[in-house]
Structure formats: structure tokens, C-alpha cells
Amino acid sequence: MHATPSPLMRVIYTSRRAAGTMHLEEEALVEQILGVSRPKNATWRLSGLLVSGHGRFAQTLEGPPDMVTAMFDLIRQDERHHDVRLLHQAPTPARCFATWTMAYLSDLDLIPPEMGRGHDAMALVMALRGVVRGGPAAFAATPFSALAAAA
């Protein structure tokens, strides 16, 4: 008998940095977020990628559907950002960032080759970076927008 593979879900959203965080360097704010996210995502069996720049965040979370949903609900209430817009929510056949509890790129970083190796990972890196640079409207031009409409 084979075990049924556990279903996986992906969420992609974008948000804007809250005015109340502007006293912090972007790097310090991101360090604060990642310091909590990485151990917690490991426990919740979540992986993903966070991109920041131009006063925006774009993030994808992947993992068991109930965990992804619960984490997105928690994140959207975080007062360090606002204008949280869900861009994509759909089942996914595979994790793109399986070896990262939360990969991170600033808009200006070179993309480490190992980050782009997962299934569809490079396409996601480019999509999230496009959204950080061009705002939520830029998502329409990515392959992920055709897969599922957002609420």
C-alpha cells in the first residue's frame, strides 16, 4: 500500500510596509520578521519566499492547506504591513522552496542559483520581484495569475 501524498497549497500575496516601521532600516525589519518566521515555519511545515523593496512585501507560502491558511490569517493581521492583497491561492503539485523555511531576497539582491532550482522556483522569484517593483497589477503578467483567481 502506498500512502497518499499530502496535499499542498500555495498562497501568494503582496502588502505595503506600515508607516510605523519606517524608523527601522528595511534590513532590520526583515531580520525581525525572519527571526520569528523561520523556526515557526519549520514547526508548521511551511516553506516559501519573501521579497521586499520599494515599500512593499511579496510573499509565497507553501505547505499543508490548513497551515498555509492559518499562517496567512495571522500574517495579514500583522501591523507591520497593510493593504494585504491575496493574489493567488491554489493547490500546488510541489514545493518550490522545499529547503527554505523562508527564503528571502531584497529587490536588489542577486538571485542565488540554489534558490531557483526548485520546481517553478525561478518563475516565482521573478513573479514576486515583479510585484515588489510594479505593484499588484504586475502579477497579471505572471504565469501564476492564470492558475487561480484571488478573493
Ligand X SMILES: Cc1cc2nc3c(=O)[nH]c(=O)nc-3n(C[C@H](O)[C@H](O)[C@H](O)COP(=O)(O)O)c2cc1C
Greatest alpha-carbon span in the chain: 57
> Nearest approach, Cβ of 74 to ligand X (angstroms)?
5
Tabulate helix, strand, coil % of the chain (nearest 5).
40, 25, 35
Any residues with CB less than 8 A from the CB of 77 and at least 6 apart, and which?
none
Site residues for ligand X per CB under 6 A: 15, 33, 36-37, 40-41, 50, 57, 59, 71, 74-75, 78, 80-81, 102
**Minimum distance from residue 92 beta carbon to ligand X (Å):** 16
In the complex, minimum distance from the CB of residue 64 to ligand X, in angstroms, rounded to a whole number? 14
| Cα–Cα distance, 46 to 95 (Å, whole number) | 9
Residue 61 identity:
L
3-state secondary structure of 48: strand
> Any residues with CB less than 8 A from the CB of 148 and at least 6 apart, and which?
88, 89, 90
Nearest distance in Å: CB 30, ligand X: 8
For ligand X, the closer CB: 59 or 89:
59
CB nearer ligand X, residue 33 or residue 87: 33
Pair 82, 15: CB distance under 8 Å: yes
Instruction: Choose between 7 and 35: whose C-beta lies nearer to ligand X.
Output: 35
Question: Which CB, 57 or 139, lies closer to ligand X?
Answer: 57
